[in-house]
Structures are given as C-alpha cells and as structure tokens.
C-alpha cells in the first residue's frame, strides 16, 4: 500500500499559454462604450455544452457576466445538457433573435452544420473551452488542453517512478477537450515504457459516470497505481468509489480543471494533483474578444489562458 506524499499546497508550471486582454487586442473599455453609443445594442449568445450547475461553467459564466456588465452588453446564456440536437436548435434560435455574436462551447463536432449555416448569415462565431473543426470560427478562447494533458502525464510518471498501471477516465467522445487532453497525456507517458494504461473509459465529463464506471474498473483490476481523469468531476467520482472499496490509499488520483471541490480534495490528501484552468478568466476574455472584434480590431485565431499544475 502506498503512502501518499504530503506537501504544502502549491502551484507549478504556470504560463503554458498567453492571456490576452482587450488592451492587448487593442480595444479599451472607452472604445467599447463609444462603440455601443454609435451602434445598435450588442447582444451576445453564450451556448454551454453542459448544465447550469456544472462548477467549471458556473465560473466561466460568472466571468462572462462581469465583463458584459462592465461593457454594457446583453448576454443570452443557454445550456445544452450534452445534447447536440438541443444545442443545434439553440444556435438556430439565437440566429432568429438576431444576436450580434455567438460564443459557443460545442457539445461535439456534430453541431458543425448549424454553425456553418449561422456563419453564412454573417453572425460571427467564437468557440470557448472546446474547439470546433470549422474555418468559420473567428477565434478560439481556451486553455491549451494538449499541454495540460501532457503536464498531467509527466507529473504522474515522476510520482510513479516511471513505472506502474494507470486508468484513464476520458471526457465526452468527440469533444476537443477530451481529444486534446488525451493526446497530450498519452504523448507524455509514451516516453516511459514501464507505464501501462490498463483501462481507458469514457465517463463523459460526468461525476456520476466517473463513480459508476470506476467502481466497475476496480472490480476488474486489482493492481491500479494511478488514475488520470480529463476533468475534476470524473476524478471526484472515482475517488468516491475508491473510498467505498477501501482502496483510496492504494491509488494516486490526478484531475483537470481546478474546481473548488478538487482543491478541497487536495487539501485533505485524497487528490494528488489537478491541472487548473481559469474558467472565470476564460469567460471574461471571451466576451472581451467579441467586443474587440465587433469594434473592428484584429483578433488572434487562438487565445490561450494560462494553466497550472496544483499539488499538495
């Protein structure tokens, strides 16, 4: 049985990407106010792939709201509950309402046709957190998910002394976040021939799925050294199952997102590490990027928000 290492809570490996603000893009709050005085009021639709009670997206929306209040624009926020058809209909509805722009957190690439149609009508589309393989996207605002997955893999290899059995809980199939985090993680651990991924299971970024599926994995494998989950909700579900099975102290757990409950799990020693995103900053910069674009400024194709590896 392993004894988990105890450290002070700390943040390492900061500055994976570059954070852009309106001043860097070239649009100040004064310019934004001037823009609204001279044109029609700005309404921005924000489409979230999951539910309104998902911790990551609560923070993202909070940041977007703060920015919208500061610049005096209206937000319409809709949640797709992981249903691509519902999100497609929401895209159509925002088009009918004549929004100035859409910030899209896509369920999966299956919403691509809806996005193409909207872009063809002249409504600018921005993606946030999850990307979409579409040339019509103005800009993508997100963490560098590949680098985050790689960061998790490198750290896990160090903790395991470069050998051991790992279980991976993956996100929603087809989503860019799941694909990129998985690719980065697998690239990192491929450098260590003594490390084996003995199971890779999709838990759809969902805590309940993570709990149920990892419970099944525990019955199948007696020798599990570590678990990496593509988000904190799944890893927290896995921790619950490990507790119930009496195997919590045998396994290292690493998550992704840095939500409040994950930080609590770090502090009490249940979670080894999480790759912290900054969803509130992501939401704020998403709205600021839309304003800058609508004011005629040049916008980068991709805007990365800093990541950090949070340890205890």
Domain ranges for the chain, please list them: 22-143+279-298, 145-276
If you write DSSP's letter for every residue of 71-87 in order, what string do you get?
Answer: HT-EEEEEE-TT-HHHH
- Report the length, in residues, of the chain: 312
Phi and psi torsions of 128, nearest 5°: -135, 135
CA dist., res. 300 & res. 302, Å (int)? 5
The listed CATH number (3.40.50.700, 3.40.50.2300, 3.40.50.620, 3.40.50.1000) that belongs to domain 145-276: 3.40.50.2300
CA dist., res. 125 & res. 30, Å (int)? 24
Report pLDDT for 82: 93
Q: Which residue has the higher pLDDT, 154 or 11?
A: 154
CATH number of 22-143+279-298: 3.40.50.2300
The answer to whether the 22-143+279-298 and 145-276 domains have the same CATH topology is: yes
For the cut 80, the answer to whether the pLDDT of residue 11 exceeds it is no
Query: pLDDT (tens digit, 9 = 90+) per residue, 294-304?
Result: 999 999 999 99
Report pLDDT for 199: 98
For residue 294, what are the contacts with CB-CB under 8 A and spacing of at least 6? 35, 42, 100, 101, 124
The mean pLDDT value for 222-227 works out to: 98
Residue 253 structure tokens: 């757990």
Query: pLDDT (tens digit, 9 = 90+) per residue, 23-49?
Result: 444 444 444 444 444 457 899 999 999
Q: Which residue has the higher pLDDT, 282 or 312?
A: 282
Q: Are strands 10-12 and 308-311 parallel, antiparallel or unpaired?
A: antiparallel
Query: pLDDT (tens digit, 9 = 90+) per residue, 249-277?
Result: 999 999 999 999 999 999 999 999 999 99
CA dist., res. 171 & res. 270, Å (int)? 21
Q: From 177, 109, 105, select the one nearest 146 (Cα to Cα).
A: 177
Percent of the chain residues topping a pLDDT of 90 = 83
pTM attached to this predicted model? 0.76
CA dist., res. 189 & res. 294, Å (int)? 43
Count CB-CB contacts under 10 A for residue 18.
Answer: 13
């Amino acid at each position: 049985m392993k004894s988990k290492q105890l450290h002070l809570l700390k943040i390492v490996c900061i500055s994976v990407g570059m954070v852009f603000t309106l001043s860097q893009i070239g649009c100040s709050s004064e310019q934004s106010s001037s823009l609204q005085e001279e044109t029609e009021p700005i309404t921005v639709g924000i489409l979230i792939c999951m539910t309104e009670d998902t911790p990551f997206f609560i923070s993202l929306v909070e940041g977007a709201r703060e920015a919208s209040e500061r610049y005096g624009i209206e937000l319409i926020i809709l949640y797709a509950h992981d249903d691509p058809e519902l999100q497609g209909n929401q895209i159509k509805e925002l088009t009918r309402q004549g929004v100035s722009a859409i910030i899209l957190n896509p369920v999966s690439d299956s919403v691509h046709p809806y996005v193409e149609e909207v872009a063809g009508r002249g409504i600018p589309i921005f993606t946030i957190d999850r990307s979409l393989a579409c040339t019509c996207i103005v800009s993508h605002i997100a963490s560098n998910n590949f680098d985050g997955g790689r960061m998790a893999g490198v750290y896990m290899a160090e903790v395991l002394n470069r050998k051991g059995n790992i279980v991976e809980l993956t996100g929603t199939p087809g989503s860019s976040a799941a694909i990129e985090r998985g690719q980065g993680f697998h690239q990192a651990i491929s450098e260590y021939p003594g490390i084996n991924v003995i199971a890779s299971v999709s838990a759809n970024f969902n805590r309940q799925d993570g709990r149920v599926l990892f419970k099944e994995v525990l019955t199948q494998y007696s020798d599990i050294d570590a678990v990496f989950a593509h988000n904190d909700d799944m890893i927290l579900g896995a921790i619950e199952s490990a507790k119930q099975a009496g195997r919590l102290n045998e396994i290292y757990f690493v998550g992704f997102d840095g939500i409040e409950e994950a930080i609590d799990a770090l502090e009490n020693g249940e979670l080894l590490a999480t790759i912290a995103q900054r969803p509130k900053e992501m939401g704020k910069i998403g709205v600021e990027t839309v304003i800058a674009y609508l004011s005629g400024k040049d916008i980068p194709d991709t805007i990365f928000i800093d990541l950090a590896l949070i340890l205890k």
